[in-house]
Amino acid sequence: MNRQEAKEILLLFRPGTADAQDPEMAQALTLAQQDPELGQWFQEHQAFQTAMQTRFRQIEVPATGKLALLSALQTESHQERKIVRPPFWRLPVWQWAAAAVVMLGLTLFWPGSRRPDHFADYQQMMVSKALRGYTMDWATSDMTQLRRQLAEAKAPADYRLPPGVAGLQLTGGTRLTWRTHPVALVCFKRKDQRDVWLFVMKRSDVRDPPPVTPRLQRVDRLMTASWSQGDVTYVLAGPPEPGFPKEYF
């Protein structure tokens, strides 16, 4: 192993880790002890590495993030935790019969036992989509093109942007669904690179649409404004900051 080869190996050495146990690394370390020039270079490089390692590990972690996550996970687990039951084929016959009677009764006499269909459910679901990721089907900065794509995908495309939102940078959009109803998601970026989402759905697709005047509400980790206009209902979501989303109207 020559000096250059040793340098290339020692470049990857991290003080205080198991790196020294690597046989090649050990050989390069021995050479650094014997070769003064290499030793000098290694000493400087090691000081650099230690300082870099320390600085990287000092990247500030917001305390609120962990708390918000724990709270969100708890909510999620209460809503969606799977209940493990014996497989259906192991249920006794009388349980089958009882279950069938109960199911029939529920279907016939309890029409209110429907899945959540309130605006708040829709709003929560959309915020969750924004936070937990979605597939951006069309990455574009051209609103006309996006409207065309949404219309082709049978999603609401005839939406009106509030004046402030129209000034944001369009990044694209996608078609989502809520209880089989199509939802258009239009994505924007602000100058500070933070995302703003506009969800558009037909007003008649929800039982209790929001009023014409935007209603501001914090949902999960986002601030939202919800309003209706014509046969369209809107949810605008973005970072929970003072002024957002009032500044867009």
* Distance of closest approach, residue 227 Cβ to other proteins, in angstroms: 24
* Distance of closest approach, residue 108 Cβ to other proteins, in angstroms: 33
Pick the closer one to other proteins by CB: 7 or 181: 7
Pick the closer one to other proteins by CB: 66 or 207: 66
Tokens matching residue 38: 């290499």
Which residue in the block uniquely carries the two structure tokens 């279907």? Answer: 107
* Distance of closest approach, residue 21 Cβ to other proteins, in angstroms: 9
Pick the closer one to other proteins by CB: 117 or 195: 195
Q: What gap in Å lies between CA 191 and CA 193, rounded to an integer?
A: 5
* Distance of closest approach, residue 154 Cβ to other proteins, in angstroms: 22
* Distance of closest approach, residue 153 Cβ to other proteins, in angstroms: 16
Binding site for other proteins (CB under 8 A): 8, 11-12, 14, 16-19, 44-45, 47-48, 51-53, 55-62, 65-66, 68-70, 72-74, 76-77, 80-82, 84, 131-133, 135-136, 139, 171-172, 192-195, 221, 239, 241
Cβ-contact 130, 237 below 8 angstroms: yes
Radius of gyration in angstroms for the set of CA atoms belonging to the chain, rounded to a whole number: 29
Cβ-contact 223, 241 below 8 angstroms: yes
Strands 138-139 and 169-178: antiparallel
**133 backbone φψ class: left, alpha, beta (φ>0; ψ -120 to 50):** left
Pick the closer one to other proteins by CB: 164 or 239: 239
Q: What gap in Å lies between CA 162 and CA 169, rounded to an integer?
A: 14
